[in-house]
Structure 1
């Protein structure tokens, strides 16, 4: 009889382990603890086990080890009252286990059982809580990384797609006027609208590809545009409308950290987009990029023609592009200022050439 009772709890643990995906580790732990307590009660009723029975003692030690492992797994997998109930039940089973061999009635026996259960269960509880804390910290880190990626993708959409779409809108407005008296120029304008639309679609495709990535470590991002791409950007902006962009950027790309170069490019994109949106009468924009000592300076200034913006760091009615870029510049150790300069509007940025 003692051998059958000794195998009851290990058999329950073994069966429950194969069914854990269906019922959960907490249910397995609770069931194993109840079976163990039932085996203890059975030993009381059938007669205490003799300490000389090595086989039942060896199986009993295996039972205790299995119960303590279940404590660790339960605390790691689930908190709340369900996990606490399962752990308390296992603790009771572990504390009652020695009473299978000798009577533990009375105050001294009860304290002995409590001490035995506490000594065995406490390390398992601490290990389970520690592993749970590690898992929660890892989940928070992954969630923070994914949030940062989503914000980065949102900035990509704002910086690049909005720039192309705003250019398409400006050219379409001009095209409706030219189509009436200059079809040739209107046709060329519509070709540029098509090119801008294809570029916007390409940016959307890249962003959607990144969003669909299932890699836990984050999607592999394509190289971000830097200072070398400013020439193409400003030429495309000039071709898309009546605003002449004058670029003065003699800085060599290898001398500038990748993060600083990408941020400088984004600043110029946002500033030119704001010129198109808020300064329709502007006819010239100066883009100046300089390496001064250990800092990179970027200045974008238009010659005016837009409505007076409200107080603040950006023009009204256009989203939060400069506000997001200001946070990015500050994270790199730089500063961003935006405001009236003469008859126009100026965005000025300084960033260190050495990060960290």
Structure 2
């Protein structure tokens, strides 16, 4: 066996295996190494006066080199993608010299030019896949960013409500009991001032994260009390089951509403054949379970304009990894559910699809003032959220 002729094929196969199965070996390095070995062997023919040999080893070398071109164009860092894909691509284009040397230069140049089309096609495929990867990562990042911004606004609403209650309590305590010992009066004053500063800080933070809403915008956060109107107007007809007397914290209630909204939106987008949709909100064991199912069938290949769909990269388990179905809206929503200590899953059922969220359902009782105190207490205007 001609060791020199076999060396490029062995190097290309080894580099391809390392690129896929050796986590510590970057694909760029593997492609560059295989391309360099192949070009050096090709250059040895005219430099050492070697005669042309058969193309058996060349045919074994070409597929792994083309695969390395594709992988490097897709996965190599941007600053070295040209080098990483160019070396194996040039190796493919030049390898015809080994079977034509010595020969007519014009024929070798034409043959190498035609052979280079394989490298161009592989590089183009890799760049196309790279653009899809970039668009997917960007869409996921934007979905998570939008959800985090929504969480910032919700946090303002929730915490501002509780801080306002603290201010009311502090102000009431200063007025109800008459003269207070100086240390107590000073502590209440500090609590009131700290609450006002916290409200102002939250206002500034939310203003930096969000554009100012128009004066006519309604930012009320709907919750489980709005599910009936949401589900009642859905087509195909949807059934709603809610545990009677269910009382949830404000943030949990709002998240339940958003989970149902996103799930119904996905039914409308991806399950046009569905004839039945069921929404169930049940509580037990300190948790609330939200499950939305449809009978739209296990349809695949449906995508939105943003690349999301029921056959997206998330779902079929905990959103955030794995394979299955799920749009980018569910990716962002899973972050919101995770912040509350819950979990969100989506996947196929026997005849359709499900989205299921489990959230903690513990309620924190509000601290209320006696009725005779409340009318006499007002918040300072600068502390109103």
Distance of 1:73 and 1:174 partners within structure 2: 69
Partner residue of 1:7? 6
1:61-80 alignment, distance < 5 Å: 61-80=59-78
Q: Indicate the SS of the match to 1:219.
A: helix
- Per-residue CA deviations over 1:50-92 (Å, capped at 9, x if unaligned) read 44xxxxx343222111111111111111253411012222222
Q: Does 1:111 align with 2:117?
A: no
Q: Indicate the SS of the match to 1:128.
A: helix
- Per-residue CA deviations over 1:105-125 (Å, capped at 9, x if unaligned) read 5344223312221x1112111
Partner residue of 1:179? 177
Distance of 2:368 and 2:374 partners within structure 1: 12
Q: Indicate the SS of the match to 1:134.
A: helix
Partner residue of 1:18? 18
**Which structure has the larger Rg over C-alpha atoms?**
1
Q: 2:335 aligns with which of 219, 240, 245?
A: 219
Q: Is the 8 A contact 2:52 2:98 kept in 1?
A: yes
**1:13, CA displacement in angstroms?**
3.1
Distance of 1:237 and 1:63 partners within structure 2: 82
Q: Is the 8 A contact 2:65 2:88 kept in 1?
A: yes
Distance of 1:240 and 1:102 partners within structure 2: 103
1:65-104 alignment, distance < 5 Å: 65-103=63-101, 104=103
Q: Is the 8 A contact 1:33 1:90 kept in 2?
A: yes
The 10-residue stretch of structure 1 (4-13 or 91-100) with the greater mean CA deviation from structure 2: 4-13
Q: 1:14/1:90 Cα in 2 relative to 1: closer, same or farther (>3 Å)? A: closer
Distance of 2:24 and 2:12 partners within structure 1: 14
Q: Is the 8 A contact 1:69 1:124 kept in 2?
A: yes
Distance of 1:109 and 1:177 partners within structure 2: 99
Q: 1:92/1:133 Cα in 2 relative to 1: closer, same or farther (>3 Å)? A: same
Alignment length (residue pairs): 218
Q: Is the 8 A contact 2:8 2:38 kept in 1?
A: yes
Distance of 2:123 and 2:369 partners within structure 1: 64
TM-score (norm 2): 0.47
**1:133, CA displacement in angstroms?**
0.6
Q: Does 1:48 align with 2:51?
A: yes
Q: Indicate the SS of the match to 1:48.
A: coil
Q: 1:106/1:220 Cα in 2 relative to 1: closer, same or farther (>3 Å)? A: same
Q: Indicate the SS of the match to 1:215.
A: coil
Q: Is the 8 A contact 2:42 2:97 kept in 1?
A: yes
Q: Does 1:120 align with 2:118?
A: yes
Q: 2:167 aligns with which of 166, 169, 181?
A: 169
**1:134, CA displacement in angstroms?**
0.5
Q: Is the 8 A contact 1:171 1:241 kept in 2?
A: no
Q: Is the 8 A contact 2:89 2:120 kept in 1?
A: no
Q: Is the 8 A contact 1:167 1:276 kept in 2?
A: no
Partner residue of 1:263? none
Q: Indicate the SS of the match to 2:374.
A: coil
The 10-residue stretch of structure 1 (100-109 or 162-171) with the greater mean CA deviation from structure 2: 100-109
Distance of 2:111 and 2:372 partners within structure 1: 87
Q: Higher relative CO (CA 8 A, sep ≥ 6), structure 1 or 2?
A: 2
Distance of 2:83 and 2:92 partners within structure 1: 14
Distance of 1:239 and 1:82 partners within structure 2: 72
Q: Is the 8 A contact 1:5 1:42 kept in 2?
A: no
Q: 1:243/1:157 Cα in 2 relative to 1: closer, same or farther (>3 Å)? A: farther
Partner residue of 1:36? 38
Q: Is the 8 A contact 2:144 2:335 kept in 1?
A: no
Q: Indicate the SS of the match to 1:22.
A: coil
Q: Indicate the SS of the match to 1:100.
A: helix
| Structure 1 unmatched runs, 5+ | 52-56, 183-189, 208-212, 225-231, 245-274, 279-315, 322-356
**1:141, CA displacement in angstroms?**
0.7
Partner residue of 1:331? none
Q: 1:237/1:33 Cα in 2 relative to 1: closer, same or farther (>3 Å)? A: farther
Q: Is the 8 A contact 1:30 1:90 kept in 2?
A: yes
**1:277, CA displacement in angstroms?**
5.1
